[in-house]
Amino acid sequence: MRTGRRLSVRVLGPAVLLAFMMLAPGAGAEPFEEETPLRLSWDELRRLAEEHPVLAAGRFELAAVRDAVTAAKAVPNPGVEATTGRGTAIDGTSSRNEWGVTLSIPLGWLAERGPRVDAARAEERSAASEVEALRRDVLLQLRLMFWELAYQQRWVEVLEELDRQTRELVRLVSLRVEKGEARPVEAVRVVVEAETIGAELEASRAALASARDRLSAWVGVPPGRSLAVEADLEDLDPPIDLSGTRTRAHGHPSLLAAAARVDADVARVAEAKRAGFPSFGFAAFVDSELDRRGYGAGVQLEIPLWNWNLGNIRQARNRLAASRETLEARQRDLEARAVAFRAACEGGVTRSRHYRERILPNATRAAQTIERTYELGEVNILDVIDARRTLLATRRDYLEALVGAQADCSRLDALTGEDW
């Protein structure tokens, strides 16, 4: 319930009466109550993220690629050809059932099996690296939501504290007006300020609820359960040096995946070349005819007379060239992003430290000095309101600097694999 203070109307002027009519429902925001939220640390959220459907799908894709390695190692099945029929002598004096069985074993696969298995294994390495890259992307997305929720929590706490202070200021100004130490219009002004802070607090609570709902839906928390995070926005360390950043960027899983695809295409070029070699096969047969029984073996030879597989070879070589260019482009892109993310992280850490060590303390001292001066009657309420607004804006800028730095440093960590 909103509550108001009763003061005798006979000692108050019209402006003060108007102020208390505005304040009657209570200055500031409604008292806010919610169920105890489920508080999660980053490590707990990271464990939940490991079960995300996107990562589960990636692991199934990796399992399918590993099965392709098994398929590439498989030996072709032999072929069996059986014939039967009725045979009659030319003179017509006798007849009997005749049959024949031929067993053929292809051997051409021996030349192509090695490159085919190498290509499958390279694809397996590429798929494993892509799953790791996907995992980093998923964790980065979660990390950014984590810091956004931490920021919203801190901002609501700042506004709640300011709301309490402003309501106390309303009480103080009202008493000063009642005693004749302040002009009645000051009561109206401070009530307007209290309502302004209350409106912003309500809007920030709505933003906080939205951030909680997004994170809850993402990690699979049951609907209707409030979620909060345990986070220290001030926990910021300067990034490693630029040389180390570039070195670690070279180990990014997307780059390893591109390198593995180059290896796979090298193996496919070898496979395409060997597919143009003469293909051998082995055959054994048994024939039972009217006037004879035959046994034998033979060699099958497929001669690439018309088709030397040149089209497939050129196709494989072009794909290999494309893979190498893609690898080079990926490496350049990662180096450029590493430089940019490191600069952003370092700048964010420096800016946040500057706010924490200089700007915010100065704004706090200024606001406290103005309030003490007002209590002595040397300044008016507008000076107090202006000082508080300046302090509030500084706190917002500081929190935004912190969450921005955390986001930039998280992107850098995801790129370099630092504590990831």
Res 29: pLDDT: 52
What 3-state class would DSSP assign to 372? helix
For the chain, helix, strand, coil in percent to 5 are 65, 10, 20
Per-residue pLDDT of 285-295, as tens digits, reads 888 777 778 88
Res 31: pLDDT: 53
Q: How far apart are the first and last CA of the chain?
A: 47
Secondary structure (H, E, C), 141-177: HHHHHHHHHHHHHHHHHHHHHHHHHHHHHHHHHHHHH
Res 139: pLDDT: 95
Residue 295: Cβ-neighbour burial (10 angstroms; 0-12, 13-18, 19+)? exposed
The CA distances from residue 319 to 94, 117, 258, 265, in Å, are 65, 18, 13, 7
Residue 95 maps to a domain = no
Residue 42 maps to a domain = yes
Res 167: pLDDT: 92
DSSP string, 286-355: EEE-SS-EEEEEEEEEE--SS---HHHHHHHHHHHHHHHHHHHHHHHHHHHHHHHHHHHHHHHHHHHHHI
> How do strand 95-106 and strand 293-302 relate by DSSP bridges?
unpaired
Tell me the angle at which helices 109-179 and 184-219 cross, rounded to the nearest 10 degrees.
Answer: 160
Res 19: pLDDT: 46
Residue 165 maps to a domain = yes
In DSSP terms, which residues pair with 152 in a beta bridge?
A: none
Residue 250 maps to a domain = yes
Residue 393 maps to a domain = yes
Residue 75 maps to a domain = yes
Residue 252 maps to a domain = yes
- What CATH code is carried by the domain that includes residue 60? 1.20.1600.10
Q: What is the edge-to-edge ordering of all strands in the sheet holding 279-288? A: 79-88, 95-106, 279-288, 293-302
Domain containing 13: what range? 9-22+37-79+122-275+311-416
Residue 327 maps to a domain = yes
pTM of the entire structure?
A: 0.81
Domains contained in the chain, number: 1
Task: Give 10-residue mean pLDDT values along the chain (420 residues).
Answer: 37 44 47 69 90 92 93 87 85 82 83 90 96 95 96 96 92 86 85 94 95 89 79 92 91 96 96 83 81 82 80 94 96 95 96 96 94 84 92 96 97 87
